């Protein structure tokens, strides 16, 4: 088990190296010039050249990569080209917010999706089942940004309510923080819930048909035990896979939702820096997102073996 | 048994790694966060004099000498002062300089107010003025406004409060260039302490910089020692970064913010709300079609004139701007007497027959194919491109629209890699900027490859002509010449909109300053 985890963690090295190469060189191929973006149309050629020189953009690309990479290996992700802020602390600061948003929407989606999915699976082809299926289909099909914009407008127009502006951390002011996070969590949670609900339902259906369930029922076990201790637990593997993927994606920043709700998360950071061609920030953020994604997937793999002892890693 | 334990341990380790990121960082800015909490509480208790502004973009930095982004300017212009400024009629009036005189046409001597302090307590002297402008002109600074002051030959400190600018030649634009928010007087000590001024702001303006929380907000507080008695009236100004129009709209509706800029469409949506005033003003901007005048067939002035005649500018006003724009030449109409009446100009008459005749003369009787490039980021530019596509079709010009993302757009603009580019220009506060800088052969923003010796000598003369009447005549001639040669098609100058809650008193936006808040208070 430990050996497996260590092996997986070691695999991070080639993955991150690959990501760093791809992102670094792609950024230098795409059109756009950070100096011109920063200085705008007023700048003289001299000012532009000076700024490019300050950022080291006048040196050979390979040399730029080596300079950057050796910094990263020492834990120094460099400074933002536009704001001059250090990149790594900025990323971690933003990640806190994205992390909170992800966890809140995930919890929200589980609370709704798993029980409803189980019920729909048990009461297959009844009215309840159909209702749940329609609701989940809606959850999956309504685009995030549409739901978000409609929610904002309806709340503002009918209840004169809009979430407080200006993000505050959870530990500074929990109530205000939750007020700010509630709407975006609902929006993201709804979309996540739809997929999880559908997966729970089909997974439960499949498990309930299996021999071991019949055996357990034949032993006279209570239905509640059959469902929660045996069926659901076995049905969790595919559900977990989907949840893992969803969380991985969300942790990479939910660009649109963060933008609509003015949350200063990782997604906003990436978007702003791409628009400004702030290379150091984009590179750092993408590397970080890849790191988190791999880690979340590893976590899911380990959870598999917890839920299904037959799965072992050597 | 081991397996399960092993699982739990590894789970904890992994969770630990994942969380380490957040928590370790959390500790770092804990003190910061507590401050934030305190500020917010303060704000809540003292609602009256705190103005909350929705900023549609994150500031790109706060260094006035290095950052032209509007999201930054609107903030640092409250923190810094310049030597002179504009009054509401766009007349140059004293700011840090009490008065000035001109021993000769190319020399300016400014007398500073005495006893003015930077927000850190240092006194403003002539040395600071000299330092600030030398910093702007220093190539290492890579300042965006270095080009405005390129004819400053030397700056001399005459006395503690007296500073002299020696120009290489007479320059009628010098004073109005000094009103630019980026021509701010900064404190050498602060620059040296911090390397640059992107993250700190210590000026002499009505508000002091307090805090900038990335992608979230910037707080300014009242400068109690501001050199103009009785100003500002507000205790605090908070700029919240809210990039989404719908979020700004709902926040102004519910009173979460007091002031926000809006598009014409949104302004229309909330114009009936009781608690909100929508203020509009004519901007100094105009939209244009830029031509690469060195590429066929646009290298022929007749082709460009034909396209001008085929363009229905009124339709652009009506459809793209909801009717709230005025037809514009190279100098926006809000510049008053400086701009000429373009509507009577021959090429603004939308005459399809004449356009076709011109095309035929140029050898394109059957029209031609062309690509219109526009920024996908701005709806108005995309809409303009679509309208032009339809309008030009009438003279046989078949256009394809290419939308590109903002970073690529800037690149395309500076390299002239598009034959036809839709854009918006700020025409500045002096006609020199609109005419010299965009269209002189050596103009730093003349990316179009346009060159005409008659035009060049006109705008060169305009720049050194100090007599206003004479200068106006020169610029009238230059504008007409520019319209005739049509290196760009100048389209319309849109209105701008600011929505304010009715609790905000005495807010008046001007074309040259859409956010003058020193006189503003809340009730």
DSSP B233-276: --SEEEEEE---HHHHHHHHHHTS-SEEEE-HHHHHHHTT-TTE
Q: Where are the domains of chain A?
A: 2-73, 87-307
Residue A252, pLDDT > 50, answer yes
Other CB atoms within 10 Å distance of the CB of residue A290 = 19
The question of ipTM being above 0.90 is answered as no
Asked whether B198 and A84 are in contact (CB, 8 A), the reply is: yes
**Can you give the pLDDT at residue B5?**
58
Asked whether A93 and A173 are in contact (CB, 8 A), the reply is: no
Strands B398-404 and B369-375 come out as parallel
**B221-252 CB burial, b ≥16 within 10 A, e <16:** bbbeebbeeeebbbbbbbbbbbbbbbbbbbbb
The single-letter DSSP state of residue B219 is E
Asked whether B61 and A83 are in contact (CB, 8 A), the reply is: yes
Give the Cα-Cα-Cα angle B516, B518, B521 (nearest 5 degrees). Answer: 105
Q: Where are the domains of chain B?
A: 51-57+201-282+496-522, 81-187, 285-495
Q: How far apart are CA A103 and CA A100, in angstroms?
A: 5
**CATH architecture of the domain with residue range B81-187:** Alpha-Beta Complex (3.90)
Q: How far apart are CA B500 and CA B320, in angstroms?
A: 24
Q: How far apart are CA B47 and CA A95, in angstroms?
A: 32
Give chain A's mean pLDDT. 88
How far CA B135 is from CA of A14, A69, B129, B130, B183, in Å, comes to 46, 33, 10, 9, 10
Asked whether A19 and A286 are in contact (CB, 8 A), the reply is: yes
Residues A197, A199, A200, A201, Cα dihedral to 10°: 90
Q: Could you read off the pLDDT of A39-74 as tens digits, one per residue?
A: 877 777 888 888 888 888 889 999 999 999 999 999
**Can you give the pLDDT at residue B147?**
84
Alpha-carbon gap: B360 to the closest alpha carbon of chain A (Å):
36
Other CB atoms within 10 Å distance of the CB of residue B395 = 21
Asked whether A205 and A240 are in contact (CB, 8 A), the reply is: no
Question: Are B14 and A157 in contact (CB < 8 Å)?
Answer: no
Q: For chains A and B, what is the number of CB pairs under 8 angstroms?
A: 218
Q: What percent of chain A has pLDDT over 90?
A: 29
Strands B236-241 and B50-55 come out as parallel
How far, in whole angstroms, is CA A30 from its chain's centroid? Answer: 26
Between A37 and B37, whose confidence is greater?
A: A37
- Is B433 in CB contact (< 8 Å) with chain A? no
- Residue B281: strand, helix, or coil: strand
Query: Which residue, B442, B425, B432, is CA-closest to B488?
Result: B425
Query: Which residue, B262, B197, B283, B281, is CA-closest to B500?
Result: B262
Instruction: Report the chain A residue with the minimal C-alpha distance to residue B22.
Output: A96
Alpha-carbon gap: B113 to the closest alpha carbon of chain A (Å):
30
Residues B503, B507, B509, B512, Cα dihedral to 10°: -140
- Is B151 in CB contact (< 8 Å) with chain A? no
Q: How far apart are CA B231 and CA B523, in angstroms?
A: 16
Q: In chain A, what residues touch B198 (CB-CB under 8 Å)?
A: 83-84
Cα R_g (chain B), whole angstroms: 26
- Residue B300: strand, helix, or coil: coil
Question: Are A54 and B142 in contact (CB < 8 Å)?
Answer: yes
Question: Are A295 and B33 in contact (CB < 8 Å)?
Answer: no
The single-letter DSSP state of residue B117 is B
Q: How far apart are CA B342 and CA B190, in angstroms?
A: 48
DSSP chain A: -HHHHHHHHHHHHHHHHHHHHHHHHHHHHSS--HHHHHHGGG--HHHHHHHHHHTTTTS-HHHHHHHHHHHHHTT---B-TTT--BHHHHHHHHHHHHHHHHHHHHHHHHHHHHHHHHHHHHTTTSHHHHHHHHHHHHHHHS-HHHHHHHHHHHHHHHH---PPSS---TTT-HHHHHHHHHHHHHHHHHHHHHHHHHHHHHHHHHHHTSHHHHHHHHTT--HHHIIIIIIHHHHHHHHHHHHHHHHHHHHT--HHHHHHTT--SHHHHHHHHHHHT-HHHHHHHHHHHHHHHHHHHHHHHHHHHHH-TT----
How far CA A23 is from CA of A30, A38, A287, in Å, comes to 11, 21, 8
- Is B142 in CB contact (< 8 Å) with chain A? yes
User: At B178, which helix (H) or strand (E)?
Assistant: helix B174-178
Q: Which residue in B26, B137, B141, B144 has the most chain A C-beta atoms within 10 A of its own C-beta, making it the best mutation to test that interface?
A: B144
Q: In chain A, what residues touch B36 (CB-CB under 8 Å)?
A: 168-169, 172
Q: For residue A262, give the nearest of B241, B406, B407 by CB distance.
A: B241
Q: Could you read off the pLDDT of B13-51 as tens digits, one per residue?
A: 555 554 444 443 333 343 444 444 444 444 444 557 999
pTM, 2 dp = 0.83
> What sign does the CA torsion over A182, A188, A190, A196 have?
negative
Question: Are A41 and B445 in contact (CB < 8 Å)?
Answer: yes
CATH 1.10.357.10, domain B285-495, yes or no? no
Cα R_g (chain A), whole angstroms: 24
Q: In chain B, what residues touch A85 (CB-CB under 8 Å)?
A: 199, 214
Q: In chain B, what residues touch A290 (CB-CB under 8 Å)?
A: none
Q: Which residue in B38, B54, B60 has the most chain A C-beta atoms within 10 A of its own C-beta, making it the best mutation to test that interface?
A: B60
Instruction: Report the chain A residue with the minimal C-alpha distance to residue B59.
Output: A83
Q: In chain A, what residues touch B148 (CB-CB under 8 Å)?
A: 42
Question: Are A272 and B58 in contact (CB < 8 Å)?
Answer: yes
Question: Are B10 and A1 in contact (CB < 8 Å)?
Answer: yes
Question: Are B26 and A167 in contact (CB < 8 Å)?
Answer: no
- Is B67 in CB contact (< 8 Å) with chain A? yes
Phi, psi of A150, rounded to the nearest 5 degrees:
-65, -45
Q: How far apart are CA B329 and CA B318, in angstroms?
A: 17
Q: How far apart are CA B249 and CA B172, in angstroms?
A: 42
Tell me how long chain A is.
314
Question: Are A85 and B69 in contact (CB < 8 Å)?
Answer: no
Residue A82, pLDDT > 80, answer yes
Asked whether B15 and A298 are in contact (CB, 8 A), the reply is: no
- Is B1 in CB contact (< 8 Å) with chain A? no
Q: How far apart are CA A3 and CA B80, in angstroms?
A: 60
Inter-axis angle of helices B30-45 and B2-28, to 10 degrees? 60
**Rounded average pLDDT over A21-47:** 85
Phi, psi of A302, rounded to the nearest 5 degrees:
-70, -40
- Residue B315: strand, helix, or coil: helix
Q: How far apart are CA B451 and CA B438, in angstroms?
A: 11
Q: How far apart are CA B387 and CA B318, in angstroms?
A: 11
What is the band of A302 on the pLDDT scale with cuts at 50, 70, 90? confident
Domain A87-307 -> CATH class: mainly alpha
Q: In chain A, what residues touch B26 (CB-CB under 8 Å)?
A: 96, 169, 171
CATH 3.40.190.10, domain B51-57+201-282+496-522, yes or no? yes
Asked whether A170 and A135 are in contact (CB, 8 A), the reply is: no
Between A238 and B190, whose confidence is greater?
A: B190
Which residue positions in chain B have pLDDT lower than 50? 1-2, 18-45
Q: Could you read off the pLDDT of A215-233 as tens digits, one per residue?
A: 988 888 888 888 888 888 8
Asked whether B64 and B197 are in contact (CB, 8 A), the reply is: yes
Sheet holding B369-375, edge to edge: B398-404, B369-375, B420-426, B285-291, B488-490
Q: How far apart are CA B401 and CA B123, in angstroms?
A: 56
Instruction: Report the chain A residue with the minimal C-alpha distance to residue B15.
Output: A299
Q: How far apart are CA B310 and CA A151, in angstroms?
A: 44
Query: Which residue, B40, B196, B202, B72, is CA-closest to B124?
Result: B202
What is the band of A101 on the pLDDT scale with cuts at 50, 70, 90? very high
């Amino acid at each position: 088990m430990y050996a497996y985890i260590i092996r997986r963690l070691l695999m991070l090295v080639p993955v991150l190296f690959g990501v760093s190469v791809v992102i670094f060189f792609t950024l230098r191929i795409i059109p756009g010039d950070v100096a011109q973006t920063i200085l705008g149309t007023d700048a003289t050629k001299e000012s532009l050249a000076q700024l490019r020189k300050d950022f080291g953009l006048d040196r050979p690309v390979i040399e730029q990569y080596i300079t950057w990479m050796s910094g990263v290996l020492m834990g120094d992700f460099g400074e933002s080209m536009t704001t001059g802020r250090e990149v790594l602390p900025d990323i971690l600061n933003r990640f806190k917010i994205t992390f909170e948003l992800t966890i809140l929407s995930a919890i929200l989606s589980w609370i709704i999706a798993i029980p409803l999915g189980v019920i729909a699976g048990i009461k297959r082809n009844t009215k309840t089942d159909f209702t749940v299926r329609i609701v989940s289909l809606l959850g999956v099909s309504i685009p995030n940004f549409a739901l978000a914009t409609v929610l904002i407008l309806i709340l503002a127009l009918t209840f004169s309510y809009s979430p407080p502006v200006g993000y505050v951390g959870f530990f500074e002011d929990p109530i205000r923080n939750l007020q700010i996070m509630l709407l975006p969590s609902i929006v993201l949670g709804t979309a996540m819930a739809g997929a999880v609900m559908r997966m729970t339902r089909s997974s439960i259906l499949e498990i309930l048909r299996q021999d071991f369930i019949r055996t357990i029922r034949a032993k006279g076990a209570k239905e509640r035990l059959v469902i929660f201790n045996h069926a659901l637990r076995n049905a969790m593997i595919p559900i977990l896979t989907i949840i893992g993927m969803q969380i991985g994606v969300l942790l990479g920043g939910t660009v649109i939702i963060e933008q609509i709700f003015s949350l200063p998360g990782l997604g906003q950071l990436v978007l702003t820096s791409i628009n400004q061609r702030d290379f150091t920030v984009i590179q750092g953020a993408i590397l970080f997102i890849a790191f988190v994604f791999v880690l979340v997937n590893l976590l899911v793999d380990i959870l598999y073996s917890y839920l299904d002892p037959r799965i072992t890693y050597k | 048994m081991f397996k399960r334990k092993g699982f739990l341990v590894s789970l904890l380790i992994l969770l630990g790694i994942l969380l380490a990121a957040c928590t370790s960082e959390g500790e770092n800015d804990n003190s910061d966060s507590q401050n934030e909490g305190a500020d917010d509480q303060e704000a809540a208790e003292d609602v009256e004099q705190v103005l909350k502004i929705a900023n549609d973009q994150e500031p790109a930095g706060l260094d006035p000498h290095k950052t032209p982004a509007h999201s930054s300017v609107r903030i640092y212009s409250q923190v810094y002062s310049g030597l002179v400024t504009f009054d509401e009629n766009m007349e140059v009036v004293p700011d840090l300089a009490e008065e000035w005189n001109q021993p000769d046409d190319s020399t300016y001597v400014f007398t500073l107010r005495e006893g003015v302090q930077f927000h850190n307590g240092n006194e403003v002297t002539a040395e600071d003025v000299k330092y600030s402008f030398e910093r702007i002109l220093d190539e290492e600074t890579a300042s965006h406004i270095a080009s405005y002051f390129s004819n400053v030959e030397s700056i001399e400190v005459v006395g503690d409060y007296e500073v002299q600018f020696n120009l290489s030649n007479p320059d009628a634009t010098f004073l109005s260039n000094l009103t630019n928010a980026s021509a701010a007087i900064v404190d050498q000590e602060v620059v040296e302490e911090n390397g640059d001024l992107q993250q700190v702001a210590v000026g002499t303006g009505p508000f002091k910089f307090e805090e900038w929380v990335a992608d979230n907000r910037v707080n300014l507080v009242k400068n109690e020692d501001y050199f103009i008695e009785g100003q500002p009236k507000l205790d605090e100004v908070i700029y919240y970064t809210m990039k989404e129009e719908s979020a700004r709209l709902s926040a102004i509706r519910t009173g979460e913010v007091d002031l926000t800029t809006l598009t014409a469409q949104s302004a229309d949506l909330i114009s009936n709300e009781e608690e909100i005033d929508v203020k509009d003003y004519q901007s100094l901007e105009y939209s244009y079609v830029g031509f690469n005048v060195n590429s066929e067939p646009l290298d022929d002035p007749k082709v460009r004139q034909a396209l001008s005649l085929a363009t229905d500018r009124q339709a652009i006003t009506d459809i793209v701007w909801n009717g709230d724009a005025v037809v514009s030449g190279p100098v926006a109409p809000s510049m008053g007497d400086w701009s000429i009446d373009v509507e009577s100009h021959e090429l603004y008459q939308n005459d399809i027959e004449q356009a076709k005749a011109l095309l035929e003369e140029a050898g394109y009787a059957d029209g031609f194919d062309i690509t219109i490039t526009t920024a996908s980021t701005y709806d108005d530019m995309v809409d303009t491109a679509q309208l032009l596509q339809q309008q030009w079709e009438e003279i046989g010009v078949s256009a394809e629209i290419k939308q590109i993302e903002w970073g690529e757009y800037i690149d395309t603009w500076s390299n002239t890699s598009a034959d036809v580019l839709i854009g918006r220009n700020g025409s500045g506060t002096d006609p020199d900027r609109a005419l010299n800088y965009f269209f002189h052969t050596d103009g730093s923003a003349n990316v179009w490859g346009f060159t005409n010796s008659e035009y060049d000598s006109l705008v060169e003369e305009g720049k050194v002509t100090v007599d206003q009447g004479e200068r106006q005549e020169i610029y009238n001639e230059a504008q007409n010449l520019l319209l005739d040669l049509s290196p760009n098609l100048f389209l319309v100058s849109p209105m701008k909109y600011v929505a304010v809650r009715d609790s905000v008193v005495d807010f008046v936006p001007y074309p040259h300053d859409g956010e003058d808040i020193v006189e503003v208070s809340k009730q």
